[in-house]
Amino acid sequence: MLFARTRTIKQKIILGTAVNCAIALLLAFASLVIYNYLNFRTQIANDYNTLAKILESTNREAVATKSTITIDEQTKRILQHKPEVIAACVYLPDGTIFSRYTRANSESVIFPHLQNKAVTSFNKGWIDIFHPIQNTGVRETIGVQYIRVDNTVFQKEVANYIALFMIIIPFPVSMAIILALFLQRSMAKPLTELGQAAKQISKKKNFDTRIKLSTNDEIGVLASEFNEMLLEIEKYDSDRKNIVRILEEKIQARVIDLKKEITQRKKAEKREHDLQKRLDRSRRMESLGILAGGVAHDLNNILGPVVGYPDLILSELPDDSPIRPDLEAIHSSALRAAAVIQDLLALARRGNYQLTVISIKDLVYSYLTSPEFIEKQMVHNSIDLITDIAPNTPGAKASEVHLRQVLMNLTINAMEAMPDGGTLTIKSKACWIKKPTVVYSGTMPKGRYTQLQIIDTGEGIKPQDAECIFEPFYTKKQMGKSGTGLGLAIVYGIVSDLKGFIDLKSIFGEGTEFSLYFPATNYVNSTQTNLTKPVRKGDERILIVDDNQQQRALAKKLLSHLGYEVFCIESGRKAVQVVRNNDFDLILMDMVLEDGLDGLDTIESILNYKPAQRFVIASGFAESHRAKKAQQITNAPYLTKPYSLDDLGQATRNVLDRKPKSRLKNNSASGPVIL
């Protein structure tokens, strides 16, 4: 009361209006906060109980089947768009956590004790929701779905309300004070206020100032018109500022777009440059492969007699003959030459691959315990070997012989790169590629792969050499002393043929890492016993189709030695005519012929007349897809030239033994052949 007595009417009006306005706003704010809090609790309980039910329904089958991976994937997929969910887990009935999920940017979460019923618990910083997982049909609780929701959202909202309240309250309080002043000043001189306002506007250029109307007389009309004028000026000034702001924003956006365009153009140019380099490398490899394949084909025809005739002579020569060692030396040298030719075929990517599902793990262990690797270890005895072969390394569909050659070439190169000693590491594991990835040999599609790594701590490869390291005859070694220059080229060709990929990482002076990726398959261990059977002779009628006179003569000698009745034809067209008028138990077919019909064309023409005709396919070089097609339609074995007496005899006998009693021989095989 003393306070009221000592204050003037002006002060009482101003203070009372301001206090009433502040109290009204405070009550409104408190009501809004209380209402939102109650509404938030109800809404959050409904929303996230629904989310818990969705997770329970989604994970019910996975919990029943104990599939942790499935629960993890499903929970992550559902909650990745729910940033307010801090953590989630699935409890088993005994209270253990079967699967858990924690948001990546959240702090470590301590999961609460299990609640076996539907519970929603509000804590200081979060909300805990439990929802039982019922087994469908049996209505048995097989687990409990739990989620933790961030409760700081409402706290932040309250903080925002407080900030908003602190920003807004000065304005209505000020308006209340102004209103009080208006009531107090309604009896003052209005012209003074008008003059003071005009002076303030003129000096400060503050066009948002308004004259407070105190009367409805002429002065009030003047004040109203003055305010209208200020409003128009303010709109004009605001439009001008908006135009300037819009222009600045457009200029800034255009600058950002230009920067993005420049960055994208540079990336596109880099991608184009990389693609061009890979294309050039691929073309070089293809050209060299064609050359190597042609050379291999000609050398196979030349080596055929060198391999076959000593084999034939040795089969008839006594063991104590003085010339037997010389013939065996010739035969051994010819076989080594044939092995080099097989390397050229691998380089040409036209080798004959017998694909089976093999164990990469077993292949590595088999090679590391082989005599050739142990011999290399003895030569490079200062190199330490480390193996890291994952037990769950999947298998791969590949040719065991060729894949073993890849491993041998890479390990030999690694050892020779460490003349002063070092560490050779061989690793294998399963590898998931989640998106297409660019590696050295191309773009690797997403999927599951078997990864095989050969890592050394040797000299490394210079960046300029890494671009050409897989090209034939590109080597930094002394040619003829430590290799032929074909080792890595053969690796590239074999891995590409097996639908695999190569990645290369090397730091000059520190070491090199080769990573091989093959499409993964499930390997089933099976025990196979390969017994070498003696070559059985026969008396069936065989037709040889080959455009090389020496190869025809050699094949005829070898088959005649085994007791067969042999006839020779030099072209596919003549073979079709002869087979149309004669019957043969077997046809030895070369895949490369020079009269317009190759081996596949000749086989297809013969099968039109003799659907049951039997074949053995032999070639020193052939397009892989045509050779495979010929094998598919005839179920015939494939002999790689040069072949030995045992190889030819075994393949011939296997095909003839698959055939029932020959009706061809009973009808006309004993008659003359019309050539």
| 175-210 tens-digit pLDDT | 767 766 665 555 455 666 666 777 777 777 666 667
């306070």: which residue's tokens?
3
For residue 505, the SS3 value is strand
Q: What are phi and psi of 138, to 5 degrees?
A: -80, -25
| 489 CB-contact burial (10 Å; exposed 0-12 / middle 13-18 / buried 19+) | buried
Provide the pLDDT confidence category of residue 545 given band limits of 50, 70 and 90.
very high
Domains of the chain and CATH, by start: 2-164 (3.30.450.20), 353-521 (3.30.565.10), 541-669 (3.40.50.2300)
Provide the pLDDT confidence category of residue 29 given band limits of 50, 70 and 90.
confident
Q: What is the pTM of this model?
A: 0.42
Give per-residue pLDDT as tens, 470-529.
776 656 555 444 555 667 888 888 888 888 999 999 888 889 999 999 999 886 554 444
Q: What is the distance, to the nearest Å, from the Cα of residue 194 to the centroid of all Cα atoms in its chain?
A: 78
Choice between 73 and 527, residue whose per-residue pLDDT is larger: 73
Look at residue 554 in the predicted model and tell me its pLDDT.
Answer: 85
Q: Report angle CA 463, 464, 466 to the nearest 5 degrees.
A: 60
Q: pLDDT at residue 33 above 80? A: no
Look at residue 426 in the predicted model and tell me its pLDDT.
Answer: 94
Provide the pLDDT confidence category of residue 616 given band limits of 50, 70 and 90.
very high
Q: What are phi and psi of 123, to 5 degrees?
A: -115, -175
Q: How far is the C-alpha of 66 from the C-alpha of 135, rounded, in Å?
A: 13
Least confident of 82-86, 210-214, 388-392: 210-214
Burial 209-223 (b: 16+ CB within 10 A, else e): eebbbbeeeebeeeb
- The reply to whether omega before 637 is within 30° of 0 (cis) is no
For residue 128, the SS3 value is strand
Provide the pLDDT confidence category of residue 669 given band limits of 50, 70 and 90.
very low
Q: pLDDT at residue 531 above 50? A: no
Mean pLDDT, the chain, rounded, equals 78
End-to-end CA distance of the chain: 140
Q: Is the dihedral of CA 359, 361, 367, 369 positive or negative?
A: negative
Look at residue 502 in the predicted model and tell me its pLDDT.
Answer: 92
Q: How far is the C-alpha of 168 from the C-alpha of 24, rounded, in Å?
A: 13
Look at residue 131 in the predicted model and tell me its pLDDT.
Answer: 85
Look at residue 664 in the predicted model and tell me its pLDDT.
Answer: 43
Calculate mean pLDDT across residues 135-150: 81
Look at residue 288 in the predicted model and tell me its pLDDT.
Answer: 60
């293809």: which residue's tokens?
286
Q: pLDDT at residue 60 above 90? A: no
Q: What is the percent of the chain where pLDDT is above 70?
A: 75
Look at residue 332 in the predicted model and tell me its pLDDT.
Answer: 67
Calculate mean pLDDT across residues 112-131: 83
Max mean pLDDT among 116-125, 210-219, 315-324, 494-503 falls in 494-503
Look at residue 526 in the predicted model and tell me its pLDDT.
Answer: 47
Look at residue 517 in the predicted model and tell me its pLDDT.
Answer: 95
